Amino acid sequence: MLIQQNVDGFNFFNRSWVEFKVGFNDSRGNYWLGNELLHQLTLSGRYKLKFDLQSRSNNNWYSAEYSTFIVRSEADKYRLQVSGYSGNSGDAFTYHNGMMFTTYDRDNDQHKTGNCAAVFGGGFWYKNCGRSQVNSALGLVFSTWRYCTTDVSYVAAVLK
């Protein structure tokens, strides 16, 4: 089940808390399933999460799969629980484990001097802004200390 896809919608993901809660899409394929539905799905079932990423510089495909993916309730600010990385992209998402969802109108990140979603655009489980910015208005980022895949041109996240 597709939960997120960013084809070319850099500013498309610069949305409010309510919009990320209910989900949204466009005719080009940019898509967010919705945090409330993510919570309901992961509350009642065991799901894996897989990111498929395409590099802008060499057109190669990379993936990151997580054996545990849970989104907590809105009362817990859609807190993320993720673990169990495998893949060839490097683990950029586990860094965000335990974070609450942040949008430009709800600052739940750990950045001391501002709101990561207001700075980078796009809602996400930002930590101290972070290594995974797959909804960013400033460009797609999926990077780790060992790998720097900051030239991502396409990303999709799928529940398995």
Write down the pTM of the prediction: 0.88
Taking 60 as the threshold, does the pLDDT of residue 149 lie above it?
Answer: no
Indicate if the alpha-carbon torsion angle 8, 25, 98, 69 is positive or negative: negative
Give the closest residue to 134 by CA, choosing from 2, 13, 21. Answer: 13
Model confidence at 147, pLDDT cuts 50, 70, 90, reads very low
Give the closest residue to 62 by CA, choosing from 87, 30, 40. Answer: 87
Domains of the chain: 2-159 (3.90.215.10)
Taking 90 as the threshold, does the pLDDT of residue 158 lie above it?
Answer: no
Whether the CB-CB separation of 119 and 129 falls below 8 Å is answered with yes
pLDDT tens track for 56-107: 777 888 888 999 999 999 999 999 999 999 998 888 889 899 999 999 999 9
Mean pLDDT rounded to a whole number for the chain: 85
pLDDT of 53 reads 83
pLDDT of 72 reads 97
**Residue bearing the bigger pLDDT, 98 or 127:** 98
pLDDT of 148 reads 47
Taking 60 as the threshold, does the pLDDT of residue 145 lie above it?
Answer: no
The CA angle 93-13-58, to the nearest 5 degrees, is: 60
Alpha helices by DSSP H, listed for the chain, are 17-22, 35-44, 116-120
Phi, psi of 11 (to 5 degrees): -80, -15
Indicate if the alpha-carbon torsion angle 129, 132, 137, 138 is positive or negative: positive
